[in-house]
Amino acid sequence: MSDAAVLGLTRCAWATPQRPEELLYHDTEWGVPVRDDRVHFEFLVLESAQAGLSWYSILRRRAAYRRAFAAFDPVQVAGYPASAVDALLHDEGIIRNRAKITAAINNAARLLEVQQAFGSFNTYVWGFVGGGPLHIPRTNWADVPATSPESIALARDLKARGFQFLGPTTLYAYLQATGLVNDHLQSCFRYPQVAALG
């Protein structure tokens, strides 16, 4: 896509040309329905890591997270020994927060349990939105909530299943990222494109 095309498109306010990684993420990934358990796990890890920080700070570290967490393979991450936490605390490429790191490892094991119970994490999580994406037409970014009934219900259920560091706000961001909710503004060029995906 040319620079003129990039600059000429109307986007959600948070995606700006000054941050090319964020722009690319908005234009190609954000809100696209995810059906792969590994990608679901990736966004659970990244959104949890983002808690209290900017999304851009995590997006810039995504490749380091991919290396640190075995390309987001939940089987491998669930098998990390206790010593892996200390090693990850010395990895300058990721957010070195013990609670977030141990939560990611714990959540990998819990995700495997959900797979056993439901056949896949994908089947489980899409059940919270009735099996298809929620398309909520909004015209103003200020109208986008921090939580939703779905993120609150998901947070409650995940907590009961032993997941950690995944509250309703973090999970609403996860629902947006993985396309369970299409929160592109109606004026954004991606809204109709994402809506057409499901």
The question of whether 174 is a catalytic residue gets the answer no
Helix (H), strand (E) at residue 135: strand 134-135
Among 14, 29, 55, 113, the active-site one is 55
Among 22, 30, 42, 47, the active-site one is 47
Q: For residue 97, give the DSSP letter.
A: -
The long-range contacts involving 133-137, CB below 8 angstroms and separated by at least 24 positions, are 133/33, 133/179, 133/180, 133/181, 133/182, 133/194, 133/195, 133/197, 133/198, 134/180, 134/181, 134/182, 135/182, 135/195, 136/181, 136/182, 136/183, 137/186, 137/191
How far, in Å, CA of 72 to CA of 79, rounded?
Answer: 12
Q: Is 134 helix (H, G, I), strand (E, B) or coil?
A: strand
The question of whether 42 is a catalytic residue gets the answer no
The question of whether 124 is a catalytic residue gets the answer no
Q: Annotated catalytic sites, by residue?
A: 25, 47, 55
